[in-house]
Structure 1
């Protein structure tokens, strides 16, 4: 059985308003003596998940099975466009920016990877993203020429004027097999 749509109420006439006031009598506004909810002191928010993450990272660093000094020295990608403060690149390398999206370029040849990077970065720009990650691998299966996709990523990112800077990811985000990119903010 179909319900009929509710029709809007008829407008109230001046006579009906007058009759209502005659039937009810004088009216006075109710004053609430209790404190409004928004004036009660609220405790400061506690960033519990952030604190848990920081404690987990500290514990992981203490229990590392390998020496960080032996890890991937010399293979890092790093770039900062002229005109930006050097501490921006330091903050990027230390993981101070949240990665908002990523693309995995594994198993792609250079031509397919180039096209995928252009499309992915165009979409990131349309979405207003500030920090993205390109997973290119370390080139361990590359021939004598070295890591093809990694070099392609390095070359392409340096040529794009919407890239503020980039750096190899922290080890927990892929290390030298991924690059974190800081995009120019258009807010």
Structure 2
């Protein structure tokens, strides 16, 4: 047989297609195994899903009420709902250094004479001759701490005058700088006339008491407002 016929017989071999199909099948199975192995490896690396929460037994209304009262044990009910909270107690104020320096300077230049008094029925203030008006402004706005207080409520005029003189003299001997005299507004007096208020204003400017005083001014609202007066004493 010639070589040409042998080649033609080989190419016409009926087993050639079957062998090719078997090889293709083996290749596909190998690819499927590789894909399955890769998927299994990826599955092992992935974190496990979180466990599902177990539902507890449903509580009865009585059990729920018991749990509520247990959680609220010790809690106090708010009975003053809607009311403003009580203010904190006022802290003592420090003496302003600039105001004290003004006071010392005013003492050096203060002369003898009548007090310069200004104001009306509600608010008034006064300063001795030569007193810096900035000092009076510092006194009015509360730059000095209140170091003593006298309340004249319920006193007669005579008793109140003695009390004021004694209080100012004792405060000056104790080296106090600023004191408060509460004279009231006269709302409970006859015809609602502020008798003690007018008297205190006059006493503070008279020589007998005025020799101890540098200046005076109606107090701020938190210290009595129009019912009280700050008194700045000489050293």
What aligned pairs does 1:123-162 form with structure 2 within 5 A after superposition?
123-144=170-191, 146-159=193-206, 160-162=210-212
Q: Secondary structure at the match of 1:115?
A: helix
When the two structures are aligned, how many residues end up with a matched partner? Answer: 115
Deviation at 1:161, TM superposition (A): 1.5
Greater relative contact order structure (CA < 8 Å, 6+ sep): 1
Please, what TM-score do these two structures have when normalized by structure 2?
Answer: 0.47
Gaps of 5+ in 1: 1-48, 51-72
Aligned to 1:184: 234
- Greater fraction of residues in helix: 2
- CA separation of 1:143 and 1:113: change in aligned 2, threshold 3 A: same
Name the CA distance, whole Å, in 2 between partners of 1:87 and 1:162. Answer: 20
User: Structure 2 residue aligned with 1:175, among 217, 225, 230?
Assistant: 225
User: Structure 1 residue aligned with 2:162, among 115, 128, 132?
Assistant: 115
Compute the RMSD of aligned alpha carbons.
1.8
Gaps of 5+ in 2: 1-90, 93-119
Name the CA distance, whole Å, in 2 between partners of 1:118 and 1:162. Answer: 9
Give every structure 1 segment of 4 or more consecutive aligned residues whose post-TM-superposition deviation is greater than 6 Å. none
Name the CA distance, whole Å, in 1 between partners of 2:131 and 2:175. Answer: 20
The higher radius of gyration belongs to: 2
Aligned to 2:147: 100
Deviation at 1:145, TM superposition (A): 7.5
